[in-house]
């Protein structure tokens, strides 16, 4: 995968659990040319993925077929030839869909084999796995951390669903060293399975997911324990019959795998502990306001706290639906130098501008035009001003729905 506009086709997915198997299924369904090789410590999981048609081949980690597919694209005994695959080639991308504790061994394997293309991951935390990649990969600049913000109360391959990522955020964390071809190729791959790609600096990721994912998991688990403790203390086992609607919705994630989540929470302990302290402060404010309401008849503080939370929550859309009549094309004149694309997409993300598609037209060996199709979100005026200030002359114009469909085609 050396050409700029070449799409990702050959992929190895390491780890056929909920995320890895769902991605394999989604990617295979998204394009006829897809070839996905699955690797898992469980031969049963590999066999299931084959039976479902999610992968064209697979093996356990120690099987030589693993290295063979990664480095040549070939399957044992020519399997897959009947599908009309004529020109197999080295894997375009290797995805680590395993817990962080298991990732380092695979990174070392890829380095020992001299694997030269994109490596990504699906881990919920980034600090430790980024450090592993820096220390172990032969080409660490070709590693792009990733995090699909999707999940299910069902664990493992039996919960796999090719629609799992439809409408879900998938965070990517390129940096200034990322080869300019890689981010557009990954963006196309992920939007092709229905994901909404969000670009985020690596150093910001763990704090952000602590607030929106990890602390909520602890809170959900705490609510379940509160109900259980009440049932134990009061002998009121009927409380769970009352736990409908809101309680079930707010505690659904507590049913997640304890083994998986204990690892995730430990990996991000510093950020989580910081935000648990903040959360306890907020709970304290509610306690103080509630006492004032009960003891003094003054509901002012309680009303203000509830009102502010209500306003913020109502501003969060239940589901993201782009207005296809209000797409915009940003055309950005830039120099061909490392880090330019990553800097631009980071700026767009920070200003809330969501990128639907991305393309690069090389004008000369040193200049190019980056074309971004943007949704109707974010501060496009500030994005243009920032890019102009950086010496990237930019135009942003409305794009009709008809034109956008043409771009997609």
Q: What is the pLDDT along the chain (409 residues), one digit of tens a residue?
A: 443 337 899 999 999 999 999 999 999 999 888 999 999 999 999 999 999 999 999 999 999 999 999 999 998 765 544 444 444 689 999 999 999 999 999 999 999 999 999 999 999 999 999 999 999 999 999 999 999 998 776 789 999 999 999 988 899 998 888 888 898 899 999 999 999 888 888 888 999 999 999 999 999 999 999 988 888 887 776 777 776 667 887 888 888 889 888 989 999 999 999 999 999 999 999 999 999 999 999 999 999 999 999 988 877 655 444 444 578 889 999 887 777 888 888 888 778 888 877 878 777 777 888 888 888 778 889 999 999 999 899 999 887 544 444 333 3
Q: In total, how many domains does the chain have?
A: 3
3-state secondary structure of 162: coil
Residue 83, domain member (yes or no): yes
On whether both 258 and 333 belong to a single domain, the answer is no
Q: pLDDT tens digit string along 50-103?
A: 999 999 999 999 999 999 999 999 987 655 444 444 446 899 999 999 999 999
* Of 324, 325, 386, 393, nearest in space to 352 by CA: 386
Of residues 184, 209, 201, 198, the one with CA closest to residue 353? 198
Residue 4 lies in a domain: no
pTM above 0.85, yes or no: no
CA 98 – CA 259 distance, rounded (Å) = 13
Tell me the C-alpha distance between 252 and 265, whole Å: 17
Q: With respect to residue 373, please indicate whether it lies within any of the assigned structural domains.
A: yes
* Whether 42 and 113 share a structural domain: yes
Q: Are 37 and 175 in a shared domain?
A: yes
Q: CA-to-CA distance for 224 and 255, rounded, in angstroms?
A: 10
Q: Is residue 394 in a domain?
A: yes
Q: Which of 153, 171, 200 is the last residue of a domain?
A: 200
Distances (CA, A) of 300 to 14, 130, 294, 295, 313: 54, 47, 12, 13, 20
Whether residue 2 is contained in a domain is answered as: no
Last residue of a domain, which of 200, 226, 254?
A: 200
Residue 37 contacts residue 12 (beta carbons within 8 Å): yes
Identify the CATH number of the domain in which residue 259 sits. Answer: 1.10.3660.10
> Is residue 23 a part of any domain in this protein?
yes
* 138/258 same-domain check: no
Same domain, 178 and 211: no
Residue 322 inside a domain? The answer is no
> Same domain, yes or no, for 230 and 373?
no
Judge if 402 and 255 occupy the same domain: no
State which residues form the domain around 41: 10-200
Residue where one domain finishes, among candidates 147, 180, 200: 200
Same-domain pairing of 262 and 355: no
Give the number of other Cβ atoms within 10 Å of residue 234's Cβ: 10
Give a yes or no: residue 287 inside a domain: yes
Supply the CATH number for residue 357's domain.
3.30.70.260
**In a shared domain, residues 170 and 269:** no
The answer on 228 and 349 residing in a single domain is no
Element (H, E) at 199: strand 196-199
Would you say 35 and 85 are in contact if contact means Cβ atoms under 8 Å apart? yes
Same domain, 154 and 81: yes
Closest CA to 333 of 277, 396, 270: 396
In a shared domain, residues 378 and 355: yes
Smallest CA-to-CA distance from 145 within 120, 178, 170 is with 120
């Amino acid at each position: 995968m050396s050409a700029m506009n070449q799409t990702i086709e050959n992929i190895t997915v390491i780890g056929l659990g909920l995320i890895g198997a769902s991605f394999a299924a989604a990617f295979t369904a998204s394009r006829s040319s897809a070839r996905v090789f699955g690797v898992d410590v469980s031969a049963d999981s590999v066999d299931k993925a084959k039976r479902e048609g999610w992968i064209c081949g697979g093996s356990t980690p120690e099987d030589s077929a693993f290295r063979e597919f990664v480095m040549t694209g070939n399957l044992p005994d020519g399997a897959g030839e009947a599908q009309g695959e004529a020109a197999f080639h080295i894997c375009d991308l290797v995805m680590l869909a395993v817990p962080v504790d298991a990732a380092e061994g695979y990174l070392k394997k890829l380095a020992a084999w001299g694997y030269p293309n994109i490596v990504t991951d699906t881990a919920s935390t980034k600090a430790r796995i980024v450090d592993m990649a820096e220390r172990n990969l032969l080409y660490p600049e070709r590693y792009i951390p990733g995090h699909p913000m999707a999940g299910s109360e069902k664990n493992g391959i039996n919960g796999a669903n090719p629609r799992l990522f439809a409408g879900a955020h998938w965070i990517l964390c390129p940096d200034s060293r990322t080869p300019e071809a890689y981010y557009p190729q990954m963006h196309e791959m992920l939007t092709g399975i229905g994901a909404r790609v969000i670009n985020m600096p690596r150093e910001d990721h763990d704090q952000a997911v602590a607030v929106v994912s990890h602390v909520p998991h602890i809170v959900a688990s705490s609510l379940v324990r509160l109900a259980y403790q009440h049932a134990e203390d009061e002998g009121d086992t009927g409380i769970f019959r009352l736990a409908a609607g809101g309680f079930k919705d707010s505690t659904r994630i507590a049913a997640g795998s304890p083994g998986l989540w204990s690892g995730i929470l430990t990996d991000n302990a510093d950020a989580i502990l910081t935000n648990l302290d903040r959360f306890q402060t907020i709970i304290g404010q509610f306690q103080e306001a509630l006492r004032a309401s009960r003891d003094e008849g003054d509901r002012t503080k309680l009303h203000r706290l509830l009102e502010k939370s209500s306003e913020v929550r109502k501003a969060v859309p239940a589901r993201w639906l782009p207005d296809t009549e209000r797409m915009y094309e940003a055309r950005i004149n830039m120099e061909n130098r490392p880090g330019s694309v990553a800097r631009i997409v980071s700026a767009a993300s920070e200003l809330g501008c969501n990128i639907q598609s991305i393309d690069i037209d090389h004008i000369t060996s040193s200049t190019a035009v980056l074309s971004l199709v943007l949704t109707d979100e974010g501060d496009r005026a500030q994005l243009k001003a920032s890019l102009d200030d950086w010496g990237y002359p930019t135009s942003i114009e409305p794009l009709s729905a008809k034109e956008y469909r043409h771009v997609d085609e």
